[in-house]
Structure 1
Amino acid sequence: MDQAAPTGNVRRSRFWLYTPFVLLLLLAIAWSIAWFVIRGRTAEALDGWIAAEARSGRQWTCGDRTIVGYPFRIEVICTTLDVKRGAVSASFGRTEAVAQVYQPRRIITEVAGPLHVTDGTVTVDGTWDLLQTSIHVSQSGLQRLSLAANAPKVTITGLGGGEIAGSGKHLELHVRPNPSRRAEFAGDVAASVTEARIPILDALVGGAEATNLNMDVTVTQADGFKGGTIAEELELWRKANGKLEILMLSATKGSRQIETKGELRLDEQHRPAGQLTIAAAGLDGLLGNLTGGRASGNLLGMLLGQNPRANAPQPNAKPQLASLPPLRLDNGFLAMGPFVIPNVRLQPLY
Structure 2
Amino acid sequence: MASSSRAADASGVTRKLILLAIAVVLFVALYTGVWFYAASWIKDRVERELAASARGMHSAACSDLSVRGYPFRIGVFCDSVAIDDRPSGLSATFGALRSAAQVYRPGHAVFELDGPAQVRVTPDLVFDADWDLMHASAVAWTDGLDRFSAAYDGLKGKLNMPSEGLSVGIAAAHGEKHVRQSGDALDVAASLDALSLDIDGKALPPMNVAADLTIADAAKWLTAEGPPPNLPLGTSAELRTLSFDLGAGQTLALSGPVTVGDDGTVSGALDLTIEGITAWRDRVSELFPQAAKTAKRVAEAVKVLSGGQERAVVKVNIRQGTVYLGLFPVAEIPPL
Q: TM-score, normalised by structure 1?
A: 0.77
Tell me which of 266, 269, 272 is aligned to 1:278. 272
Show the counterpart of 1:249: 242
Give CA deviations for 1:74-107 in whole Å, capped at 9, x if unaligned. 1211000111121321111000111111100011
The structure with the largest strand share of the pair is: 2
Q: CA RMSD in A?
A: 3.3
SS of corresponding position for 1:44: helix
Give CA deviations for 1:184-233 in whole Å, capped at 9, x if unaligned. xx422111111211346xx8xxx9542122211123464559xxxxxx94
Show the counterpart of 1:317: none
Show the counterpart of 2:70: 70
Q: Is the 8 A contact 1:211 1:251 kept in 2?
A: yes
How far apart in 1 are the matches of 2:295 and 2:58?
Answer: 51
- In structure 2, the CA distance between the partners of 1:9 and 1:338, relative to structure 1 (3 Å rule), is closer
SS of corresponding position for 1:113: coil
SS of corresponding position for 1:102: coil
Q: Which amino acid is 1:248 matched to? A: T
Higher relative contact order (CA 8 A, sep 6+): 1
Of residues 297-306 and 97-106 in structure 1, the stretch that sits farther from structure 2 once superposed is 297-306
SS of corresponding position for 1:27: helix
Alignment gaps of 5+ in structure 2: 223-227, 286-290
Give me the identity figure in percent. 24
Show the counterpart of 1:120: 122
Q: Is the 8 A contact 2:250 2:279 kept in 1?
A: no
Aligned length: 316
SS of corresponding position for 2:240: strand
SS of corresponding position for 1:109: strand
Deviation at 1:43, TM superposition (A): 1.8
Show the counterpart of 2:175: 171
Show the counterpart of 1:314: none
Tell me which of 204, 210, 216 is aligned to 2:206. 210
Q: TM-score, normalised by structure 2?
A: 0.80
* 2:112 aligned with 1:110: yes
Alignment gaps of 5+ in structure 1: 226-231, 312-320
Show the counterpart of 1:261: 255
- In structure 2, the CA distance between the partners of 1:187 and 1:3, relative to structure 1 (3 Å rule), is closer
Give CA deviations for 1:134-180 in whole Å, capped at 9, x if unaligned. 0101123210010011112343332747233322111110112331x
How far apart in 2 are the matches of 1:117 and 1:221?
Answer: 28
- In structure 2, the CA distance between the partners of 1:5 and 1:261, relative to structure 1 (3 Å rule), is closer
Deviation at 1:58, TM superposition (A): 1.9
How far apart in 2 are the matches of 1:165 and 1:58?
Answer: 29
Give CA deviations for 1:223-269 in whole Å, capped at 9, x if unaligned. 559xxxxxx944x542xx22243121111112311111123344576
Q: Which amino acid is 2:104 matched to? A: Y
Q: Which amino acid is 2:334 matched to? A: Q
